[in-house]
Structure 1
Amino acid sequence: MKKISFILIALMVHGMLPAQFAGIQNNQEQPLPAGFKPASTNTFLSQYPAVNPDTRQATFRVVAPYAQNVTLQLGGKHAMTKDDKGVWWYTTDPLVVGFHYYAVMIDSVPVMDRGSEAYFGSNWESAGIEIPEGAEGDYYRFNKDIAHGEIRSLYHWSDINGLERHINVYVPAEYEKNPKKKYPVLYLVHGWGEDENGWSVQGHVANIMDGLIAAGKSVPMIIVMPSGDIKTNSDVRKASGDITDILIKDLVPYIDKTFRTYTDRDHRAMAGLSRGGAQTWNAVLNNMDKFAWMGGFSGSGRIGKNPFNPSASPTTVETAYNGVFKDAAAFNKKMKLLFISIGTAEGPGAKETYELLKNHGINNLVYHESQGTAHEWLTWRRALNDFAPRLFK
């Protein structure tokens, strides 16, 4: 029986249900509930999941006639209800605006909802749903009335990693129109469980930057979005090396050789979200000759106790990062911006770090809060929207 159930689940996931279920499999067969519309994160033919922009509720639909239990995993586990046609339903309470990963559990087998586009998160291809903001979210939406840059998908060779590494590179709309102009560079890193596509897909980095540049708020810049992980393949089966070394010794030289960049530290910045924020602090503060601008979004420096190594001696402002903050005046001369951002639902750690540095005499600090958001992409879109206009001025 278990073997049969597993086969049926596989058929349901891949859209090969028996003919009698073909009608209910088609998401367009039934009208949507009043006030609901397909989520913007759906595949282009999928009606569900559906979102009510006014109530911020979402309705999920899963065709699984042979399943015994179906559960929606979205900020917790929610039992779905089966109707007489073998379709499972769940309507949420009001959700926080922004992007959320979710999954469907069919008889204990986690699967991705085939109605959703695929988004790499939590180290697998996940379903996602966008709960829309009102007009305040226009800064990360496509604006047909302005010029648009490009996201270029490239590979570069890493001697340290021992293989080719994929990167996405944003170039501003004017890049090809000014063949002799050089540009500053921002290296922008994703968080744990995501990949180099996160900022360009979930983060809408091109829409954000196109809008800022068109409005004259941001300097036109190149944005490099690398992987924050040391990759493996069929030949390289064990991850080795250091991600900071890959950035400094492999990636930066490749970008400066491939694009028209300024190569001095005053025209180079780095920022990242969550783990990428911690990677930014490590890379920049240990390579002050390479960067003059830095930002941590929901991920900043560790000063005090190390939660991942409780037995280690706590660091202080004077001892953290090999003592880079000890001489505040010397640090202030080098670092043009240290940007710390957090969602108000995330906790006090970032604010505490900011206060420690400020009280020590570190200048050019900016503390930014995203109101009402947690460890999620809306927090990081808002952070980038505030951070980018401050760079290279």
Structure 2
Amino acid sequence: MKLFFRFFLFAIPIATVLCASQSFAQVVEDFKPSSVNQPGSEFPQVNSEGRVRTQILAPDANYVQLDIGGVKYDLTKDENGLWTGESAPQDPGFHYYQLNIDGASVPDPGSMFFYGACRYGSGVEVPAPDQDIFALKEVSHGQVHEILFPSESTNSQRRAFVYTPPGYDQESPEQYPVLYLQHGYCENETSWPRQGRANLIMDNLIAEGKAKPFIIVMTYGMTNDIEFGGLRNFDIKPFETVLTDELIPFVDANFRTLANQENRAMAGLSMGGMETKMITLNRPDVFSYYGLFSGGIYKPEEIEDHKNLKLVFISCGSKEHPDGVKNAVTNLQQAGFNAESYISEGTAHEFHTWRRSLHQLAQLLFK
């Protein structure tokens, strides 16, 4: 596991924290409000280069910075105390960010709030050329249900979100396969339905006839507190118990599932990929489809005794370690496994990589 942890620790970008001035030359002035702004908020804005511009009224502040992608950019104050500035171009897709006002990191009141980077904070959407995959379209839509399930092992009621595909609520005895989909470190069970747009990705694929309808279950993947940088100390056993012995039986009892290994998948991003790998290695009898999004690899010898394994899917961004992913999948294929790789072009360790990964994996599941 040492090699694994060297590359896959966080769901937030790992970058050296720098400070950048706003002395950009020839900034293209075609900024438009982000699609995830608070209603009526003009800022933050994004231009065609992918630069993020933010603005806040703080007349008593001495300095204000935009903190995005691990880099801080100075904002400029006008005579009315209005601070404005923009970042360097960002990759397409969703990004967490915050404002730094006189040393205090705070959310931007212009943005909707999202849980990521170990806090509720701001997010911005940089338009992507393929954002159509999660666009809200005039198609039949599934439902995202918020559920509470009892966990005897943690002595608590735990929360999960369950996506049911279009047609599920009709009077029908049809049963569905299930994907258990995990978030990354410093995120939670809201991350896939909100930042990831998992439900819209599925609605669109089903409407296009590209994916078989299935249920998706998304729950919180932490059962013990881990300090930042201490993920090596994470013990998978408590969460494995929650998932396999408590959540799965609850879902099978309360939703119309095909309750067997053949119709059950697990996948996750970053830390969720780590959890997926560890649980599928420990409990090969539970799942028959495995998916790692920027979350490690499988070696042939690790899964050589996994019976009824139908698919191994491994992905990452082109700015991560694509050769490692491709080589791992080649090795699996040569060993006789049904394995697929996917590289998200032009993205790194970020949510658009993982949206694209889900979009690809969903078309391969339960066929």
Instruction: Return the TM-score normalized by structure 1.
Output: 0.80
Q: What is the Cα deviation at residue 354 of structure 1? A: 2.7
Alignment partner, residue 391 of structure 1: 365
Q: 1:58 aligns with which of 42, 45, 52?
A: 52
What per-residue deviation string (whole Å, max 9, x for no partner) do you get for residues 95-138 of structure 1?
2111111111111111011111111011101211001123x211
Equivalenced residue count is 329
Alignment partner, residue 186 of structure 1: 179
Unaligned segments of structure 1, at least 5 residues: 1-32, 233-238, 304-316
Q: Indicate yes or no: 2:186 matched with 1:212.
A: no
- Which has the higher Rg, Structure 1 or Structure 2? 1
Q: 2:291 aligns with which of 276, 291, 295?
A: 295
Instruction: Return the TM-score normalized by structure 2.
Output: 0.85
Q: Indicate yes or no: 2:216 matched with 1:223.
A: yes
Q: 2:144 aligns with which of 147, 151, 163?
A: 151
8 A Cα contact 2:312 2:338, kept in partner: yes
Alignment partner, residue 334 of structure 1: 308
8 A Cα contact 2:62 2:102, kept in partner: yes
Q: Which moved more, 1:99-108 or 1:172-181?
A: 172-181
The 5 Å alignment of 1:101-180 reads 101-134=96-129, 136-143=130-137, 145-180=138-173
Alignment partner, residue 5 of structure 1: none
What per-residue deviation string (whole Å, max 9, x for no partner) do you get for residues 351-385 of structure 1?
343344344x0410101100010000100000000
Q: What is the Cα deviation at residue 34 of structure 1? A: 5.5
Alignment partner, residue 61 of structure 2: 67
Q: What is the Cα deviation at residue 158 of structure 1? A: 0.5
Q: What is the Cα deviation at residue 163 of structure 1? A: 0.3
Superposition RMSD on alpha carbons, in Å? Answer: 1.9
Give the letter for the 2:76 counterpart: T
**In 2, Cα distance between the equivalents of 1:351 and 1:244?**
28
**In 2, Cα distance between the equivalents of 1:184 and 1:158?**
23
The structure whose RCO (Cα within 8 Å, separation 6+) is larger is: 2
8 A Cα contact 1:278 1:301, kept in partner: no
Secondary structure at the aligned position of 1:289 is classed as: coil
Alignment partner, residue 9 of structure 2: none
**In 2, Cα distance between the equivalents of 1:133 and 1:292?**
32
**In 2, Cα distance between the equivalents of 1:86 and 1:337?**
57
**In 1, Cα distance between the equivalents of 2:204 and 2:111?**
27
Q: 2:328 aligns with which of 353, 359, 371?
A: 353
**In 1, Cα distance between the equivalents of 2:89 and 2:184?**
26
Pick closer, same or farther for the CA change 1:142–1:98 going to 2, 3 Å.
same
Alignment partner, residue 74 of structure 2: 79
**In 2, Cα distance between the equivalents of 1:286 and 1:301?**
15
Alignment partner, residue 83 of structure 2: 88
Alignment partner, residue 254 of structure 2: 258
Q: What is the Cα deviation at residue 242 of structure 1? A: 1.2
8 A Cα contact 1:288 1:334, kept in partner: no
Alignment partner, residue 7 of structure 2: none
**In 1, Cα distance between the equivalents of 2:107 and 2:298?**
35
Secondary structure at the aligned position of 1:62 is classed as: strand
Alignment partner, residue 21 of structure 1: none
Q: What is the Cα deviation at residue 350 of structure 1? A: 2.9
Identity of aligned pairs, percent? 38
What per-residue deviation string (whole Å, max 9, x for no partner) do you get for residues 146-177 of structure 1?
10000001100111111011100000111012
Q: What is the Cα deviation at residue 288 of structure 1? A: 1.6
Q: What is the Cα deviation at residue 302 of structure 1? A: 6.7
**In 1, Cα distance between the equivalents of 2:298 and 2:213?**
32
**In 2, Cα distance between the equivalents of 1:214 and 1:302?**
32
Q: Indicate yes or no: 2:344 matched with 1:370.
A: yes
